[in-house]
Structure 1
Amino acid sequence: MSYEAALGELERTVQQLGREQDDLAQSVRAFERGLALARRCSQVLDQAERRLSDMAPAERPVSP
Structure 2
Amino acid sequence: MAQNPASDLVDVSSLSYEQARDELVSVVTELEQGSSTLERSLALWERGEALAARCEEWLLGAKERLEKARRAQADA
| Cross-structure match for 1:50 | 64
Gaps of 5+ in 1: 60-64
- Answer with 1 or 2: which has the greater Rg: 1
SS in structure 2 at match of 1:56: helix
* Highest RCO, 1 vs 2 (Cα 8 Å, sep ≥ 6): 1
TM-score by length of 2: 0.74
Distance in 1 (CA, whole Å) between partners of 2:35 and 2:71 is 52
SS in structure 1 at match of 2:36: coil
Partner AA of 1:51 in structure 2: R
Per-residue CA distance 1:6-54 (angstroms, 9 max, x = gap): 0000000000001111110000000000000000000000001001101
Structure 1 segments, 4+ long, off by >2 Å, are none
**Identical positions, percent:** 39
TM-score by length of 1: 0.87
Gaps of 5+ in 2: 1-14
1:1-64 aligned at under 5 Å gives the runs 1-57=15-71
Distance in 1 (CA, whole Å) between partners of 2:46 and 2:58 is 19
What RMSD in Å do the two structures reach over aligned CA positions?
A: 1.3
Distance in 1 (CA, whole Å) between partners of 2:65 and 2:43 is 33
Q: Aligned residue pairs: how many?
A: 59
User: How far has the Cα of 1:57 moved from its partner?
Assistant: 2.6
